[in-house]
Amino acid sequence: MPAVELEVVRHGAGRPIVVLHGMQTLDPRGRFVEALGRHGELILPSHPGFGASERPKDFETVYDLVHHYLEFLETLPHARVTLLGLSFGGWLAAEVAATCSHRLDALVLVDAFGIKIGDRETPDILDVFNTAPHEVRRRSWHDPERWAPDFDRLSDEDLVRRARGWDALCLYGWQPYMYNPQLARWLRRIIVPTLVLWGASDGVVTPEYGRTYSALIPGARFELVEAAGHHPEIEQPDALAARVAAFLDRR
């Protein structure tokens, strides 16, 4: 079976850092990519079905995505890379790390999805599909007025990318909603240094969820990013990049 035709952005030079984007693709011209790119060679793939990456027929599960990224890591020339996952991409990064730590030198999770913590009547992760858009907006940002996207100002191309990603996200994450019931048990297999970063104002997945997530990964370090909601890479790009860089430099 041929590999998936993938959109991959590369930026910067130095230690290889693979960044798995969240519910939408990262802006390659954005501040976070620029800031983190000063500390390493960023490799930014768009997940199949997002951006310009194709999604093969019947490729519609997180199982597919995890194996896709395991294969992706094997195709890179580097023996080991740093893996950084944001939100939905954080779930993928945690899955990959639990399966294949030997290809990684470090793991960074930012406001990650992926596990179930609360009781059966308490959802951990805001249902972005079944919740009113104004409520999703309110809970996604520390400062929604400043940072929430204004669809009237986005280009046609950006809106089409956004809609395509929205459909793909739903396909992958609808059920169980944004988590793998088995993953929490296997996070102990992550044996690389791990940093878990969380927007202090995240109302999509709370910092408390992040602390619990972090505690399930041996030796993981948990840090809050102040004045950020679910998207520290947008609200606090410099601070987030600095935290990641400091962590990587300490090692």
Which tokens sit at 97? 């790390």
Closest CB 249 distance from other proteins, rounded Å: 38
Closest CB 127 distance from other proteins, rounded Å: 9
Closest CB 52 distance from other proteins, rounded Å: 12
Q: Quickly list DSSP for 11-63.
A: E--SSEEEEE--SS---TTSHHHHHHTTSSEEEEEPPTTSTT----TT--SHH
Could you count the other beta carbons within 10 Å of the beta carbon of residue 104?
Answer: 21
Closest CB 60 distance from other proteins, rounded Å: 7
Closest CB 142 distance from other proteins, rounded Å: 16
End-to-end CA distance of the chain: 39
61 vs 182, beta carbon nearer other proteins: 61
Give the H/E segment covering residue 84: strand 81-86
118 vs 133, beta carbon nearer other proteins: 133
97 vs 234, beta carbon nearer other proteins: 234
119 vs 152, beta carbon nearer other proteins: 152
159 vs 227, beta carbon nearer other proteins: 159
Binding site for other proteins (CB under 8 A): 58, 60, 129-137, 148, 150-152, 154, 156, 159-164, 166-167, 169-171, 174-175
Closest CB 55 distance from other proteins, rounded Å: 11
14 vs 133, beta carbon nearer other proteins: 133
What 3-state class would DSSP assign to 248? helix
Which tokens sit at 212? 């619990």
- Provide Rg for the chain, Cα atoms: 17
CA atoms within 13 A on the CB side of 32: 21
Q: Quickly list DSSP for 217-232.
A: STT-EEEEETT--S-H
